[in-house]
Amino acid sequence: MTRILRSVTLLALLALGSCAPFMLVPAAQQQDVRGAFTIDVFRPWNRVNPQAAGADQGPTESWTIDGPGLDQLLMLVGVANGDPLLKPVQPATSSQPREPLPPFRAGMAANEVMELFEATLVRLFQTTLFETKNLRPARLGDSEGFRFDYAYTAKDNIDRHGLAVASVRGDRLYVVAFHGPRVHHFPAFRDEVDRMIASIRFKAAPK
């Protein structure tokens, strides 16, 4: 467990800033997510405060139960055509700008979005040990979409598994993904996350 906890620093890249404080997301039905959809929350989660990062993070929600190095629910809420999936914070100690992440394009097929998701996380985790698989149709709210599984090993040498459900509504991409260490957190919370995803209801029709 000590070794797993050391992964928090690395995984905080996806938590939108390693020093970002958390805000409580209480258990509740139809919890609002950025005015775009509601989701049922069956236990308290901790939401990374995007304002504390001090930079535009894009339409990203990052929630965790035990810490972003142990479990992470990542929600990409309406990624616009031409934008990257995530907008990581530029480290204060770096004088060189980050290389741009690959962008989402509205006409992408499901397999292309899956490949874009992989390319984005590979860059952020700085690993080549990343696999996406089992692409299949799925629904996200009232929208036809797709689902896939993923697995990766970051620099801490911990194997993690993940799941992602995505849909393109109009020209915007919505993704709900969850990952955690293979040995405990992913299997422990996977069924609950599936229930949360099944509960999603969009507030407006796609434009």
Whole-number Å distance between alpha carbons of 91 and 95: 9
Is residue 26 over pLDDT 90? yes
Least reliable range by pLDDT among 50-59, 77-86, 106-115, 183-192:
50-59
Tell me the CB-side half-sphere exposure of residue 75, using CA atoms within 13 A. 21
User: How do strand 45-48 and strand 172-181 relate by DSSP bridges?
Assistant: unpaired
DSSP label at 52?
G
Handedness of CA 181, 141, 15, 29 (dihedral sign): negative
pLDDT band at 6 (very low <50, low <70, confident <90, very high): very low
DSSP label at 99?
P
pLDDT reported for residue 124: 83
At residue 83, φ and ψ (nearest 5 deg) are -95, 155
Percent of the chain at pLDDT above 90?
Answer: 65
Superfamily classification of domain 2-90+102-202: Mog1/PsbP, alpha/beta/alpha sandwich (3.40.1000.10)
> Encoding tokens for residue 39?
């989701």
Is residue 48 over pLDDT 90? no
**Domain ranges across the chain:** 2-90+102-202
Q: By the 8 A CB rule, do 202 and 30 touch?
A: no
- The contacts found for 129-136 with CB under 8 angstroms, 24 or more apart, are 129/153, 129/154, 135/110, 135/111
Whole-number Å distance between alpha carbons of 186 and 178: 8
Q: By the 8 A CB rule, do 176 and 164 touch?
A: yes
